[in-house]
């Protein structure tokens, strides 16, 4: 079974993908993403791999016969791809060279363009799940790209808020956000010519940093070559900072927010590329669980003070910088 089901209470689509339950537990001594597996080229640096158990496909099956006058279904149209960061099974982003991560950024851009070329895809989402704490079963360094036939609810809320802000103020909400964080200063972790990394004033997670472009860009594909290089270094340094926080590979969900695609609105004025991190840890040993308040009514509670945790992150960034010298 693979289909979309309409959630009338939240006005959102839910992907039903029972085929993903069939994913096998990989043998400890074999990885499909490693050269020699027969699944990937024998020689690659970064690589795009079609998900073997996709929640969405460009040739979806017909939905099950469960639709009624009240319950609505739709084909699970879309695309699910895996992006392999390195042929090395245990490599981490901070261990890769700057030039290697630049190739990863170029591959993200290439696949974003390819998925956006499908007029039935309305949102392209680049992301990475990392670590056991977020349910990752495949340790080989990789991320994913989903092409949705709809605009997911959070992106819809962001675009609506940004549009309302622009209509009222004549300015980009995201530009004002990063500039206000820069002016306040206490939650800024580090920055360079093109990107700023900060712990937002409103962060829902203790270490939920944002990477935001200083230039007003809708899509990752709109960055210049210099900006792509800067993005590669910024992502690498951000992950290195998180790993240095408690001295182990830090689990996280990394989510890239681009503007929607293939719609009537072009978002030129009011949407802005950024990356949001959702690390599940609230200390070295304790996980920040999403309990009833967060899950049941989306009312988040951060158990830490952002200004204080920003100090921790700046110290971790300094340690990472020293280790790179």
For residue 54, give Cα distances in angstroms to 21, 57, 148: 11, 7, 12
The C-alpha atoms of residue 123 and residue 78 are separated, in whole angstroms, by: 10
CA nearest to 320, candidates 207, 242, 230: 242
| Residue in 89, 140, 142, 216 annotated catalytic | 142
Q: Strand pairing partners for 12? A: 7
Helix 153-169 vs helix 173-184: angle between axes, to the nearest 10 degrees? 80
The C-alpha atoms of residue 240 and residue 140 are separated, in whole angstroms, by: 17
Strands (E), 113-235: 123-130, 142-148, 188-191, 195-198, 210-213
Paired tokens of 56:
């969405």
Listing DSSP states for 202-229 in one string gives: T-SSTT--EEEESS--SSGGGS-HHHHH
| b/e code 139-166 from CB counts within 10 Å (16+ = b) | ebbbbebbbbbbbbeebeebbeebbebb
Per the annotation, the verdict on 140 as an active-site residue is: no
The C-alpha atoms of residue 190 and residue 142 are separated, in whole angstroms, by: 25
For 126, phi then psi, to 5°, come to -100, 130
For 281, phi then psi, to 5°, come to -90, 140
Which residues are catalytic, by number? Answer: 142
């Amino acid at each position: 079974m693979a289909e979309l089901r309409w959630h009338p209470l939240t006005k959102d689509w839910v992907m039903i993908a029972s085929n993903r339950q069939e994913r096998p537990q990989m043998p400890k001594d074999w990885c499909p993403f490693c050269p020699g597996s027969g699944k990937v080229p024998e020689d690659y640096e970064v690589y795009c791999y079609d998900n073997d158990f996709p929640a969405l496909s460009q040739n979806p099956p017909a939905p099950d016969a469960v639709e009624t006058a009240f319950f609505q279904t739709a084909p699970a149209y879309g695309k699910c791809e895996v992006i392999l960061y390195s042929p090395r099974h245990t490599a981490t982003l901070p261990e890769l060279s700057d030039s290697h991560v630049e190739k990863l950024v170029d591959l993200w851009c290439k696949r974003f363009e390819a998925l956006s070329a499908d007029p039935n895809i309305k949102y392209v989402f680049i992301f990475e799940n990392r670590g056991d704490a977020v349910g990752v079963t495949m340790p080989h360094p990789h991320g994913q790209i989903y092409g949705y036939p709809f605009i997911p609810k959070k992106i819809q809320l962001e675009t609506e808020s940004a549009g309302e802000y622009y209509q009222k103020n004549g300015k980009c909400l995201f530009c004002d956000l990063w500039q206000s964080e820069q002016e306040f200063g206490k939650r800024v972790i580090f920055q360079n010519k093109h990107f700023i990394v900060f712990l937002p004033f409103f962060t829902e997670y203790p270490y939920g940093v944002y990477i935001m472009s200083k230039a007003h860009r809708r899509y990752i594909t709109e960055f210049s070559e210099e900006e792509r290089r800067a993005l590669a270094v910024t992502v690498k340094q951000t992950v290195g900072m998180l790993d240095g926080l408690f001295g182990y590979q830090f689990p996280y969900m990394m989510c890239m927010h681009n503007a929607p695609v293939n719609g009537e609105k072009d978002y030129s004025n009011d949407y802005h590329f950024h990356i949001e991190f959702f690390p599940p840890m609230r200390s070295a040993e304790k996980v920040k669980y999403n309990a009833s308040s967060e899950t049941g009514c989306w009312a988040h509670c951060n158990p830490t003070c952002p200004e204080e945790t920003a100090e921790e992150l700046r110290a971790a960034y300094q340690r990472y910088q020293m280790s790179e010298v």
